[in-house]
Structure 1
Amino acid sequence: MATLSLLAFFLPLAASVPVDFFKPCDSVGKINSLDVTPCVGSGLCQFPRGQDITINVNFTMGSEITAAKPAVFAYLGFLKVPEPFPMEQDSCGHFSRNCPLAANIEQTYTTHVLIKDAYPKIRVVAEWQIRDQNDQIVICFAVPVQVV
């Protein structure tokens, strides 16, 4: 159980990458670009323990947003596990404009996460979501991640 909790901590970090190997998932918004710094490797984001990860997602809003919160999942084989990632639950402050946000406008979502030294070295697929006030998925993407 402790491993899953630690897994939750680093999985969301892998979500954003300046690469073509992220997979968008069903959402009302459209991802225009994704950038993770650092993201070392091709086809797999490798996150060194003890370093900060910066995630930038440029997207076009699909609906109006008055509130937003993150949700992170890890795919362990075919099992999708929700991760209790300890992060700020109000995502509105992470957008380039503050909430409320109008539909059909371009936004940037930015967040920073520390990959702690205590995290296990593991390889998973991480799925990062931002959900609105109605729990509707605004943006969603999945990325292969390895903590090194």
Structure 2
Amino acid sequence: MRGALMDYYLKILLVICAAHELAGGTIKSTRDAVYKKYLSLRSLPFEDCGSLYQVSYLDIESCTTLPCSMARNATIKVTVRFDDNGNGVSFLKHEVRWVFNYIKTQAAITPDPCDGDHGCIESASGGKAYWANIFVNETLPVMKGSMLWESKDANDQNLICFQVPVVITV
């Protein structure tokens, strides 16, 4: 009888633990979804141009409205959060171009590549985040255009691609 009573209590305990774990998983996934929605609402608007991974947040230092005003000779920090689908992305090579009237000019990015040596890529809530600095060259024309940003893995596969309207200023 005593063994049967212990089995009964053990089964009740297992059911309670399973219910708690299920509720905890639901709460965690709901919390993650709410956080991702919050990030997307705070993100600078951008046009996705074929990302493999979903970009949830974009921040361009000192840019709060579009087009982003970027002064010549400035170095501007860009921060991106994305969902790497659990693939453990740890390397990103950037190809960033200024686009003015269909003419593309290569932009200078540091650090490039973004890897473990630079601390520019890190795990974030619900995925990964990276930052890089873009230099606004003094020879760029003072006009409206866009910044086309592509981040590729070590095999040159395009993981992240977005475009943002910019205006170059003096």
TM-score by length of 2: 0.60
Per the alignment, residue 96 of structure 1 pairs with: 122
User: What is the RMSD of the two structures over their aligned residues, measured on CA atoms?
Assistant: 2.6
Cα deviation for residue 58 of structure 1 reads 0.7
Per the alignment, residue 44 of structure 2 pairs with: 19
Cα deviation for residue 113 of structure 1 reads 3.1
- Larger CA deviation: 50-59 vs 132-141: 50-59
Cα pair 2:149 2:162 within 8 Å, conserved: yes
Q: Does 1:55 align with 2:78?
A: yes
CA–CA distance in 1 between the matches of 2:61 and 2:163? 16
- Larger CA deviation: 84-93 vs 26-35: 84-93
Cα deviation for residue 96 of structure 1 reads 1.5
User: Looking at CA atoms only, which structure, 1 or 2, has the larger radius of gyration?
Assistant: 2
Which one scores higher on RCO, CA 8 angstroms, separation ≥ 6?
1
**Which runs of 5 or more residues in structure 2 are unaligned?**
1-41
What is the number of residues matched between the two proteins?
Answer: 122
SS at match of 2:108: coil
Cα deviation for residue 138 of structure 1 reads 1.2
Name the structure with the higher helix share: 2
Per the alignment, residue 106 of structure 2 pairs with: 83
Name the structure with the higher strand share: 1
Residue of 55, 64, 87 corresponding to 1:31: 55
Q: Does 1:143 align with 2:168?
A: no
Cα deviation for residue 117 of structure 1 reads 4.7
CA–CA distance in 1 between the matches of 2:53 and 2:103? 22
Q: For residue 44 of structure 2, what is the amino acid of its counterpart?
A: V
Q: Does 1:69 align with 2:93?
A: yes
Per the alignment, residue 154 of structure 2 pairs with: 133
**Which runs of 5 or more residues in structure 1 are unaligned?**
1-16, 98-104
